[in-house]
Structure 1
Amino acid sequence: MNVLLLGVVSFLNDISSEIIQPILPLFIAQLGGGSMAVGLIGGVSDGLPSILKVLSGCWSDRLGRRKPLVVAGYAISAMGKLFLPFASAWQHVFLLKTLERSGKGVRSAPRDAMISESTDQGHRGRGFGLHRAMDSAGAVVGSMLAYLLWQGGFGYPSILMLAGILSVAALLPFYWVKESSRAPDCCTSSIRLNLSSLSPELKRFLFIACLFALGNFSYMFFILRAQDHFSGSMAVAAPLLLYLLFNLVYALLAMPVGIWSDRVGRKRVLFLGYSLFALTAVGFAAVSSLWGLIALFAMYGLVYALVDGSERAYVSDLCPAGLRGSSLGIYYGAVGVASIISSLVAGAIWSLWGAEASFLYGAAAAALAAVGLLVMMSGGDEKAI
C-alpha cells in the first residue's frame, strides 16, 4: 500500500512539476537568460540539492524514520513553486528552482528506502517501476496541461501559480502513508562509515553512474534544441508537445522495464539505456526535421524508463538493509555533483561551439559509461543480481 500511496503523491506532485518543466527554459529565455543561465540553473538546481540526499538518507537510517523527511521534502518543494510566478529575473528563477529541488533532495533517499522496504528483492524492480510509472503519468498530465494552458492564452506567471497550488494538494495522501523502517540497533553510523562499508561492486557502479551523469545534462537543453527548429507560436507549442511525448513514452514503459530488470538483471537494462542515450544525443546533434525530433524525444523517454528506476533498484540491491537510506543518499549525492558539472560544461560548450558540440559531449560520456558497465558485467554473473 505504501508504494501505491507514494505513487499517488508523486503523481500529483509531478503534475505540478511538469506544468513547470517544459516552460521553464522558455521562461528563463524570456527573462534574459542564455545557455549559460540554463546550464547554471539546470545543473545547480538538480545537482546541489542532491548533496542533501546524502544527509537525508543518513538521517533517516539513524532516526529509524523515513516519513517525516519525505513529507518535509515535498513541503519545501511546494514553497519554492508557490513563489516562482513572482520571479522577474533569471537569477530569481535560479534561487527558487534551487529551493524547489532542495525539497527533492530531502525526500528522495528516504522515500526510495520506504519503497525498497515495502517490497521484497524479487519484486523491487516492479515496485520502483510502479512508482516511476505513476510519477511519469503525472508528468504526462502536467505537460499536457502546460500545453493546453498556453494554448488557452495563459501567461507564464498564471501557469506557474496553478502548478504551485497543485503541489500543496500533493501533500494530502501522506495522511495514509505508514512508516516503513524501525530504529536501527546501532545509531552510530556516519557518512564516512557508510562510504567505507559500501561493497566493491557498489563503488564501481557509483563511478559508472557518475560517468553517465556527466553526459546526462539537463532536459532544458533538449527543449532549447527543439525550439531552434521552430518560429512564431510554434516555438513554444512544439517543444511542449515534444516534451509531452517524452513523458508519455517514459510513463508507458517505466513499469514494464522495472519488471524486465527483475528478470534479466539491472546491468543489462542499464547497459541498453546508457548506449541508447549515446545514440540519442548524437541524433540531437544532427537532427534537422520534425520527424527526427519526434523520434528522438521518444527515444529520450525510453532512455529514462531504462535508466532511472533501474539505477536506484540496483543500488538498493547492492547495499545492506540497515544502510539503505544512506547508500541511496550517497548515490544521489555523487550523481548530483556530476550533474552540476554536466550542465555547466554543456552550457559552456553550447556558448562556445554550438548545440551540436554539447550533444556530442553527452554522447561521449554516455558511451564511456556503457563500456564501463560492459566491463563490470563481464566480471560476474549478471543474473545473480
Structure 2
Amino acid sequence: MKKKISKNVKLLSIVSLLNDLSSEMIMPILPMFLTALGANGFIIGLIGGLRDSISNILTIISGYWSDKIRKRKIFVIVGYLSSSLFKLLLSFVKIWPQALIVSSFERIGKGIRTAPRDAIISESMPKKHGKGFGFHRAMDTTGAILGSILVLILFWYWGLSFNTIILIAAIISFASLFPLIFVTEKKTFQKKNNINFSIKTLSNPLKYFLIISGIFALANFSYMFFILKAQQFFPERLAIIIPILLYILFNIFYASLSIPFGNLSDKIGRTKLITIGYLIFSLTSLGFIFSNSLIAFIVLFACYGIAFAIIDSNQRALISDLSTKKIRATALGTFHTLIGIIALPASLIAGYLWVINPNLTFIFGFTISIISVFSFIFIQKKFKIYNHS
C-alpha cells in the first residue's frame, strides 16, 4: 500500500506554493531590476550571495532552537511573516544600495523557517523522506512556475513597472500565511530537549556528505548569472521577456521531476541520484560557456531544472537519513548554514569573474562542480555511503 502524503506536508506545500509564487514574481526580474538601479555584475553577485548566505546561516540557529525547545510551528510562522514584510519594503526601493539591504533582509525569514519546516516534513513522513520532500519541492516549484508566468503577464501585457510587480508579489506573500493555522506539531517529547550541539554529534557519513555538498555549493553561484547570460543575446524588451520564459522552462522541469526523483531516491538510494545531479549541473555550466542561441539556452535551462530537481530535495532527504530524530533539525540547519557560508564567496567570485569576462563565471562553475562529482564518488567508495532510504 502506497504511503499517502500527510496533512502537514500538504499544508506546508500549499504555503510554499503561494509564497514561492510571490518570490518567483520577483526572482526572474531581480537581476534586471538591479541593473536598472545601476548595479554591475559584482554588485549583483554580492546581493545574490548575501541573500543565500543570510537565509542559510540563520537556518542553523533556528534549527538548533527548534530542536532544543521542541517547537517547530512558531519558527515557520515568524519566518514567512518576516519575508512578507521585507517584500513589501522592496517594492518601494529606488537605488541599488536600498535593494541590497532590503533584499538581503527578506531572506532572514527563509533562514528562520527552513530547518523547522523541513523537520516537520521529515517527522510527518518518517519512512518516506524522499516522497515528502519531493512533493513539497514540487508544489514549491509549481508556485515558482505560476509566479514566473504571472510576472510575464504583468510586465508584457499590462506594462507594469518592476516596483508595482513586487508590490503585488508582497500581497500574495501575506496571503500564503493562512494555511499555517492548521499545521499541527507532534507532541512526541514531554520535556524540553537539552541538546548541547557539537559537530561530534553528527555521524561520520553525514560529515563527509557535508564536505561534498560544500564543494558543490561553491560552484552553485546565484541563478541571476544564468539569466544575465541569456539576456545578453536579445534586444530591447526581448532581453527581459526571453530570460523570464527560460526561467519558466527551468521551473517546469524542476517541478515536474521533483516527485519522480524523490520517489526514485527512496527506492535506489540518494547518493547515485545526487552524483548524477552534480554531473548534469557541471555539463550545464560547460554549455553556458559556449551558448549563443535561443535553442542552446532552451536546452541548458531545461538541464538546469533537471539538475536541481535531483539535487535540492535529495540532498535534504539524505541529511535526514544520516541524522537521528533528536538532532534532525539541527543537522538540517548545519547543512543549510554550510551552504550559506559558501554562497557569499561563490557569488562574489562569480561576480568578479563576470566583470572580467562572463564566460569565466561558468568555467569556474564547471571546474568546481566536476570536482564535487569525483569527490563524492571517492567518498562513497571509501566510507561506504550508499543507500540510506
TM over 0.5: yes
Q: Deviations over 1:172-202 (max 9, x none)?
A: 00111111354475633133x2x11101110
Matches of 1:265 and 1:76, distance apart in 2: 36
Aligned equivalent of 1:365: 368
Matches within 5 A, 1:180-219: 180=186, 182-183=188-189, 187-191=193-197, 193=198, 195-219=199-223
2:387 alignment partner, SS class: helix
Deviates more, 1:371-380 or 1:166-175: 371-380
**8 A contact 2:321–2:388 mirrored in 1:** no
Q: Deviations over 1:57-78 (max 9, x none)?
A: 0000011110000110000000
Deviates more, 1:374-383 or 1:334-343: 374-383
Instruction: Return the letter of the residue paired with 1:13.
Output: N
Is 1:89 the counterpart of 2:95 in the alignment? yes
1:78 to 81, 84, 91: 84
**8 A contact 1:58–1:190 mirrored in 2:** no
Q: What is the CA distance between 1:244 and its match in structure 2?
A: 0.5
Aligned equivalent of 1:57: 63
Aligned equivalent of 2:236: 232
Describe the shift of the 1:3–1:361 C-alpha distance in structure 2 as closer, same or farther (beyond 3 A). same
Deviating above 6 A after TM superposition, structure 1's stretches of 4 or more consecutive aligned residues are none
The percent of aligned pairs where both chains have the same amino acid is 41
2:341 to 329, 337, 342: 337
Matches of 1:293 and 1:112, distance apart in 2: 33
Aligned equivalent of 1:272: 276
Instruction: Return the letter of the residue paired with 1:371.
Output: F
Aligned equivalent of 2:254: 250
Matches of 2:255 and 2:55, distance apart in 1: 25
1:303 to 307, 313, 321: 307
Matches within 5 A, 1:1-80: 1-80=7-86
Aligned equivalent of 1:284: 288
Aligned equivalent of 2:108: 102
Matches of 1:208 and 1:261, distance apart in 2: 18
1:382 alignment partner, SS class: coil
Aligned equivalent of 1:149: 154
**8 A contact 2:318–2:388 mirrored in 1:** no
Instruction: Return the letter of the residue paired with 2:56.
Output: S
Aligned equivalent of 1:160: 166
1:133 to 108, 128, 138: 138
Instruction: Return the letter of the residue paired with 1:306.
Output: I
Matches of 2:190 and 2:253, distance apart in 1: 40
**8 A contact 2:271–2:385 mirrored in 1:** no
Aligned equivalent of 1:118: 124
Q: What is the CA distance between 1:381 and its match in structure 2?
A: 6.2
- Pairs aligned (count): 381
2:250 alignment partner, SS class: helix
Q: Deviations over 1:330-379 (max 9, x none)?
A: 11001111111100110011112x11110010111111111111112223
Instruction: Return the letter of the residue paired with 2:225.
Output: F
Q: Deviations over 1:48-107 (max 9, x none)?
A: 221110100000001111000011000000011011111111111111111111100000
Matches of 1:182 and 1:55, distance apart in 2: 22
Q: Please, which runs of 5 or more residues in structure 1 have no aligned partner?
A: none
CA RMSD of aligned residues (A): 1.1
**8 A contact 1:128–1:258 mirrored in 2:** yes
Q: Please, which runs of 5 or more residues in structure 2 have no aligned partner?
A: 1-6
Is 1:241 the counterpart of 2:245 in the alignment? yes
Matches of 1:222 and 1:13, distance apart in 2: 23
**8 A contact 1:249–1:301 mirrored in 2:** yes
Aligned equivalent of 1:294: 298
Q: What is the CA distance between 1:120 and its match in structure 2?
A: 2.1
**8 A contact 1:53–1:106 mirrored in 2:** yes
